[in-house]
């Protein structure tokens, strides 16, 4: 099954993939995610959106991923099951 993602294309071609990490804020302010995504855009192939980082409640990784995607970065959503 192919996703057609940028990360998949880089890995399939045998290239060296570079990812960054974006930790969602401890509140619901989308501007925090937007500013972090802008810093990463153009510098990484994909961005890992962490979930429940340091066991502290934060913005949903799915919501943060959607915001990051709207800023032009490809999100890789992490989900923590506890």
Q: Is residue 21, in this structure, part of any structural domain at all?
A: yes
Q: Is residue 5, in this structure, part of any structural domain at all?
A: no
pLDDT at 82 over 80: no
Q: Is residue 57, in this structure, part of any structural domain at all?
A: yes
Q: Is residue 71, in this structure, part of any structural domain at all?
A: yes
Range of the domain at 26: 17-77
* Torsion angles phi and psi, residue 80, rounded to 5: -95, 130
Total domains present in the chain = 1
Q: Is residue 6, in this structure, part of any structural domain at all?
A: no
Q: Is residue 54, in this structure, part of any structural domain at all?
A: yes
Q: Is residue 52, in this structure, part of any structural domain at all?
A: yes
Cα 59 to the center of its chain, rounded Å: 13
pLDDT band of 4, cuts 50, 70, 90:
confident
pLDDT, tens digit (0-9, with 9 covering 90-100), for 20-61: 999 999 999 999 999 999 999 999 999 999 998 888 889 999
């Amino acid at each position: 099954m192919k996703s057609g993602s940028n990360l998949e294309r880089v890995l399939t071609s045998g290239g060296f993939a570079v990812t960054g990490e974006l930790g969602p804020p401890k509140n619901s302010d989308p501007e925090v995610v937007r500013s972090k995504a802008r810093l990463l855009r153009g510098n990484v192939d994909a961005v890992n959106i962490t979930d429940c980082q340091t066991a502290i409640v934060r913005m949903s990784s799915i919501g943060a991923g959607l915001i990051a995607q709207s800023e032009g970065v490809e999100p890789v959503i992490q989900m923590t099951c506890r």
